[in-house]
Chains A and B, each alone.
Chain A
C-alpha cells in the first residue's frame, strides 16, 4: 500500500473510533456515565484536558520549530507546561469551588458588573478565534500533503470536517471523544519517536536517546548537531539566538496564557470536588509531559536526519518525500549558483576561500513532524498514523474552542447579557451560527496566516495572559479588588498586547525586528508586559475606588475553602 492509502486507512479508523465513542456516550444515560456525585473522574478529565490542550501547534508545529530554533524553542516547552503549575495552584481549585460555567460568568459575578462580564466575553471570543486560526492551518497542512493538494484546498477540506464534526454533530460526550483522541495522538506521536530513537541512538526511550550517542558517528547526538550547525553556518543548536530577556518574556506569556485560556479553565468545572480539580490538573500535565518531553528529542533527530539527507545532495537525486512536499509549496529549492546541488546553509556560511555561500532551500517549519517518518525511511503505515494523530490534535482543540466561542455568544453575550428573554431554541441557533462563523474566520486565518502554527497560537496566549489571568488571580487573592479596577485592567492589558501584535505583524511587518521592539521584546512575548500592566492597573484602581459590596467579599471567603462545592457541570452544547 502507498503512503496515501495508509493515510486514508489510519484517518478513517481513527474517525470511526471517535464516532463510535460519541454514539456510545449518547446512548447511555448521563447518570450512568458520570461518577457518583456527578462529574467526570479526575483521570479521564486530565486526559481530555490534555487532548483539548495539545493542538496542531503541539503536535505538528512545535517539534519542527524547535528543530529549527534549537535552544530558543525551549520557550514553547517550558511555557506550555509551566502554565499548568499556575493553573493547579492558583486557579483550578477556586474556580471549581465557585462553580460558574464560564470564565465571563465568574468575572461578571465576582466583579458585580455587567460591563465586566461583557469585557470578559469579548476577550474570550478574541482569544479563541486567534487560537482556532492556528488549528486550521495545521489541518490544512495535513490534508495538503496527503491528498496532494495545495494548502488553501487543504484548509477548505479541514473547515468542512471541523464544521461537520463540531457544529452539526453537537458536542455531547465531548469529554470521552477527547479521551479517545488523546490515545490516538499520543500513540501516533510516540511510535515514530521511538523508531527514530532506536535508529539513531539504539535507545528506545527518546528522552534518553536525545542525550545519547549517535550510532553512525560515535559522537553525542547534540554534539554532532552542534558540529553540523557550525559547519553549515547556523547558530549552535544548544545555544540559540534570541536575547535572554525575550526568551524570558515569551516563556512567561505562554505560561500565564495557558492558565488564562477559557477552554482549558472550563474543564475544571466538570470534576466532582475541589480536590479532584487539583489532581486533575496534575494528571493533565502528566499526559502532556509525555509528548512535551518527547518533542525536543524528535526535534533533534529530525534536524540531524534533514541535514544528512538534503545538504549538498544533487537536486536530481532528491528522495520522494522531498518532491511530494515541493508540490504543496512548503519546500522550495532555488539553485542560485546553478551547480545542481542543494546548498542548505545558515547566515554565516562561507566556502573554503572565505566567500559567503547563499542558501538555496526554504523549508516550512510546520512540515517537520509530518515529513520526519518519511525522511527517516520509516514504514508507510507510520506516516499514515502521524497524519491521523495530527488531525486528532487539531480537531479536539478546535472542538473545545468552538464550544467556548458558542457558549460565549449564546450564554454570556445573549442570555446573561443583552437578550435575557431569548428562548432556548434561539440560544441553540445562536450557538450554532457563532460556531459556524468561527470556522469561517479560522479558515481565513489558516490560509493567510500571520506566522507558523505555533506562532499564531502564541499570540492567543499573549492575549489570554494580558486579559483574564490578572483579574481572576486578584479576584481570588485580594478581596479589595473592585469592578472598576478589573474592567480597566482587562481593557488596558489586552489593548496594549493586541495593538503591539497588530502593529508588528500587519501594519508594519518590515519593522518586526529587535531594533524596533520595545526593550527587545518580540510580539510573542508582549503578553507578559500586557499582563504586568493589567495587574498594576487593576490593583491601583481598586485602591482608589469604593470597596466591593459585602456579599462579594463573602463570596471570596467562601471560594477559598474547599468544603461546600456545588455539583459538577457537564460540558455540552
Chain B
C-alpha cells in the first residue's frame, strides 16, 4: 500500500503511517496517553462512584467544618462535579504538552 499521509492543518510535517521512526513515536505517544487516562479516570471513579456512592454512608458521619454538609452527601451533590471540571482542564494541559513533546501537535495557527 502506498504511504497514506494527510496534510496537517498545523502546516508543519506530515503524518505517515509506514515510516518506522514515526510509528515508534506514535506508539510512545499512545502509551503515555493511556497512562494519563488511567490516572484521570481513576480519580473520576473515586470521587463519584467511590466517595459519592460506595462509601457515602461512612463519609456522612463526617461533617465538613464550617458547614452543615455531611461529607459523602456533599461529594454526591457538589464535590464530584467540581472535580470533574478540574479533571478535564488537567487533561487538556497534559495532552497539549504531550502533543508538543511527541511532535504531533497541530501548531499554533489554525
Contact = CB atoms under 8 A, between A and B. Distances in A.
Interface of A: 35-37, 66, 71, 73-74, 77-78, 81-82, 84-85, 88-90, 93, 207-208, 210-213, 220-223, 238, 244, 247-248, 251-252, 255, 272-276, 278-279, 281-282, 285-286, 289, 292-293, 296, 550-551, 554, 557-558, 560-567
In order of increasing CB-CB distance, the 6 nearest A-B pairs are A220-B68, A211-B67, A74-B76, A37-B110, A282-B88, A296-B77
Given A278-B91, A550-B1, 13 more contacts: A74-B53, A88-B91, A89-B37, A208-B67, A213-B68, A223-B68, A248-B53, A248-B54, A276-B110, A279-B89, A282-B91, A564-B7, A565-B9
Contact of A272 (B8, B33, B74, B110): B110
Contacts of A37: 9, 109-110
Given A89-B37, A285-B88, A563-B15, A36 B56 contact: no
Given A85-B88, A89-B40, A289-B81, A567 B52 contact: no
Contact of B53 (A211, A251, A289): A251
A275 B89 contact: no
A565 B106 contact: yes
B52 A85 contact: no
A274 B77 contact: no
Contacts of B99: 275, 562-563
Contact of B73 (A238, A244, A285, A566): A238
Contacts of A247: 53
A296 B78 contact: yes
Secondary structure type dominating chain A contacts: helix
Contact of A293 (B68, B82, B91): B82
B58 interface: no
Nearest to B78: A293
Contacts of B53: 74, 78, 244, 247-248, 251
Contacts of A238: 60, 70, 73
Contacts of A208: 67
B18 to A, nearest CB: 9
Nearest to A80: B81
Contacts of B77: 66, 71, 73-74, 77, 296
B81 A77 contact: yes
Which of B30, B69, B78, B80 has its CB near the most chain A CB atoms (within 10 A)?
B78
Contacts of A210: 69, 78
Contacts of A550: 1
B81 A293 contact: yes
A412 to B, nearest CB: 24
B35 interface: no
A292 B81 CA distance: 8
A223 B53 CA distance: 20
Given A81-B81, A273-B110, A554 B6 contact: no
Contacts of A244: 53-54
Interface of B: 1, 4, 6-10, 13-15, 17, 26, 29-30, 33, 37, 40-41, 44, 48-49, 52-54, 56, 60, 64, 67-70, 73-74, 76-78, 80-82, 84-85, 87-89, 91-92, 95-96, 99, 104-106, 109-110
A557 B104 CA distance: 12
B49 A282 contact: no
Contact of B88 (A66, A88, A207): A88
A198 B104 CA distance: 51
A289 B84 contact: yes
B39 to A, nearest CB: 11
B84 A85 contact: yes
5 contacts: A37-B110, A71-B73, A211-B67, A282-B85, A564-B6
A36 B110 contact: yes
A82 B76 contact: no
A554 B9 contact: no
Nearest to A76: B77
Contacts of B81: 77-78, 81, 289, 292-293
A221 B70 CA distance: 12
Contacts of A35: 110
A82 B68 contact: no
A174 B24 CA distance: 42
Contacts of A561: 15, 26, 29, 104
Interface centre among A89, A244, A252, A560 (most CB of B within 10 A): A89
